[in-house]
Amino acid sequence: MTDTPGWVSPGSSPSDPEDGRAPASAPAAPESPRPEGGAGTSAAPADATAPAPAPAASAAPPYAGAYGQPGAQVPPQQGFAPPPGWGRPPHQQQVGWGQPGWSQPGWGQPGWQPQWGSQPLTPKPGVIPLRPLGVGEILDGAITTSRKHWRTVLPLSLGVAVLTQGTSVAIQWYAQSNDTPGLAAVLLLGVGFLISAVASLVMSALLTMVVSKAILGEPVTAGAAWRAARPQFWRLLGLSLLIALICVGIVVLGLLPALIIGLASDNTSAAAATAVLGLLVAGLVATWMYVRLSLATPALMLEKQGIKAALARSRKLTRDSWWRIFGISVLGVVLTAIIAGLIAAPFTIGAGVASNPFAQLNDPNQPVTLSFLALLLTGVGGVLGATITVPVRAGINVLLYVDQRIRREALDLELARAAGLPEYGGTGWAGQPGQPPTGAA
């Protein structure tokens, strides 16, 4: 990935001639035929009175006629011809059909089966193949990134999860311990929300850089990811606030007619019906707008653009692909929520047992309260679930951005060059032992 949204078309390398023809830059063949015994110069005319020698039975027919003329015959290719795949790494060498080492039997021979639907190999220097991605490949790429780079990903998500869940547990415990929380509870809630939001932004910025390197197969540390993401952090903060204000503003506009009806008359039923209808319409519009702007964060971080340009890029990349992006995003949220729930389930059960749920049987009017141990168990379950699932969710968003650019802008060619694939203009083979891939995302 580069700093600019464009790409450079790969240079085409001339292929080796396989049919023995001269290359285009070679001089044209002479018009007159050349005898076999000649050395490139025209022979003297033969004596008309001399009898013509009888042709030998085993002699090859002369190559008569110029190249491209009727009756012309092309001489066989002379000199050493390298085998197919010569000069390539062993895993890239291919054996021609019918040659020794060909793994499949020839057409029509016993054991031959047609390979219906077979596709050519796609370069895959990192966690995804460099081509338009399917739904399963996007989900698998996000999970593979967390698994391969867990030393960088998990500490980041663990730190953010501890801050978020710790603040939530502290707020709940304070609210239970005080009947009238007052201003202190509101301030604590605001501070906790601010800490969680900032920590989530930092993690989103770092995970975006980690996924961009994982696509190229390059290792990345938390320090390197922070150095790459730090110049864009304040823009990311402004972008996140702007998207949140846009979505909240749409919801407020949807509830505005109900508020006007409630203030102008005492008809509460009409105001309630208008509020429900306005909230439904506003929710749909806010969801549509959020999906249209969902790729602005990776565009801002990876293309090093401003807030306005990132919003424009997101609208361009999501055009005519809204339903696909919406469906994959919802699928990712549902899957990560299920995984987080399964991880937190034992701790939730333990919290229920620690809160003494049978105490309310003696006094039904007694409010259900959670002990500090129950809150602590709930927080631990939430921390573990978020540590595992939040990186996957962030990876899905980045891979959706990459997939849309591959489909619309042929970003796979640029990624292949950045990964060091020589057939795309890069240097070195990505993934080779002792040859780490070069280039920057």
Within a domain: 89: no
H helix intervals, 97-232: 135-148, 150-177, 182-216, 222-229
What is the pLDDT, as a whole number, of residue 44? 42
Residue 39 has pLDDT above 50, yes or no: no
Query: Rounded distance, CA 296 to CA 394, Å?
Result: 13
Q: Are 326 and 288 in contact (CB under 8 A)?
A: no
Specify which residues 432 forms β-bridges with.
435
Q: For position 340, what pLDDT does the model report? A: 92
Q: Which two tokens stand for residue 25?
A: 């830059």
Is 221 contained in some domain?
yes
Neighbours of 288 (CB within 10 A): 13
pLDDT of residue 29: 46
Average pLDDT for the chain: 74
What per-residue confidence (pLDDT) applies to 80? 45
More confident residue, 336 or 108: 336
Residue 112 lies in a domain: no
* Beta bridge pairs of residue 435: 432
- Give mean pLDDT, residues 139-166: 89
What's the gap between Cα 302 and its chain centre?
A: 12
- Label residue 41 by pLDDT band (50, 70, 90): very low
> How many angstroms separate the most distant Cα atoms in the chain?
136
Q: Model confidence over 84-104: pLDDT tens digits?
A: 545 544 444 444 444 544 444
Which of 124-128, 157-161, 335-339, 367-371 has the lowest average pLDDT?
A: 367-371
The residue-averaged pLDDT of 31-43 equals: 43
Q: Highest mean pLDDT: which of 48-52, 162-166, 320-324?
A: 320-324
Residues contacting residue 198 through CB under 8 Å, at least 6 positions apart: 237
Range of the domain at 371: 135-230+322-357+366-424
Look at the block and give the residue holding tokens 């739904």: 135
Three-state DSSP string of 359-427: HHHHCCCCCCCCCHHHHHHHHHHHHHHHHHHHHHHHHHHHHHHHHHHHHHHCHHHHHHHHCCCHHHCCC
Which pLDDT score, from 0 to 100, does residue 376 have? 86
* Of the ranges 128-137, 171-180, 432-441, the best mean pLDDT one: 128-137
Half-sphere exposure of 274 (CA within 13 A, CB side): 17
pLDDT value at residue 7: 35
Task: Please check whether residue 150 lies inside any domain of the structure.
Answer: yes
3-class DSSP state of 336:
helix
- Residues 405 and 313: their CA atoms lie apart, in Å, by 10
How many C-alpha atoms does 93 have within 13 Å on its Cβ side? 12
Gap between the Cα atoms of 304 and 35, Å rounded: 68
Residue 108 is assigned to a structural domain of this protein: no
Q: pLDDT per residue over 159-205, tens digit each?
A: 888 888 888 887 778 777 766 556 666 777 777 778 778 888 888 89
Question: According to the model, what pLDDT value does residue 258 have?
Answer: 87
- Which residue is associated with the tokens 């846009």? 246
CA–CA separation, 380 and 406 (whole Å): 40
pLDDT at 432: 42
CA distances from 275 to 252, 253, 254, 287, 290 (A): 10, 11, 8, 18, 21
pLDDT confidence tier of residue 318, bands split at 50, 70 and 90: very high
Average pLDDT, integer, range 24-32:
45
- What does the alpha-carbon distance between residue 297 and residue 239 come to, in Å, rounded to a whole number? 8
CA distance 43 to 385: 89
> What's the CA gap between 193 and 28, in Å, rounded?
78
CA atoms within 13 A on the CB side of 440: 9
Going by pLDDT thresholds of 50, 70 and 90, the confidence category of residue 338 is very high
Q: List pLDDT tens digits, range 240-299.
A: 999 999 999 999 999 998 888 888 887 788 888 889 999 999 999 999 999 999 999 999
> If you write DSSP's letter for every residue of 5-70 in order, what string do you get?
S---PPPPPPPPPSS-PPPTTSPPPPSS---TT-SSSPPPPPPTTSPPPPPPTTPPPP--S-TTST
Q: Is residue 48 part of a domain?
A: no
Spatial neighbors of 407 by CB under 8 A, at least 6 apart, are: 132, 321
Give dist(CA 16, CA 19) in Å, integer. Answer: 9
- Judge whether 331 lies within some domain: yes
In this prediction, residue 358 carries a pLDDT of 55
Q: What is the DSSP letter of 440?
A: -
Query: Which of 212, 121, 206 lies closest to 398 in space, CA to CA?
Result: 212
Q: What is the tens place of the pLDDT at every residue in 393-419?
A: 999 999 999 999 999 998 988 888 888
Q: Is residue 279 a part of any domain in this protein?
A: no
**Which of 12-21, 190-199, 274-283, 426-435 shows the lowest per-residue confidence on average (mean pLDDT)?**
12-21
Residue 151's φ and ψ, nearest 5 degrees, are -65, -30
Provide the percentage of residues in the chain whose pLDDT is more than 70.
63
Number of domains in the chain: 1
Treating both helix axes as pointing N-terminal to C-terminal, what angle do 268-292 and 307-318 enclose, rounded to 10 degrees? 90
375: confidence class by pLDDT, cuts 50, 70, 90: confident
Looking at residue 185, its pLDDT comes to 66
261-275, 288-302, 338-352, 353-367, range with greatest mean pLDDT: 288-302
Token pair 């995970």: residue: 207
pLDDT at 8 exceeding the cut of 90: no
pLDDT of residue 192: 73
3-state secondary structure of 278: helix
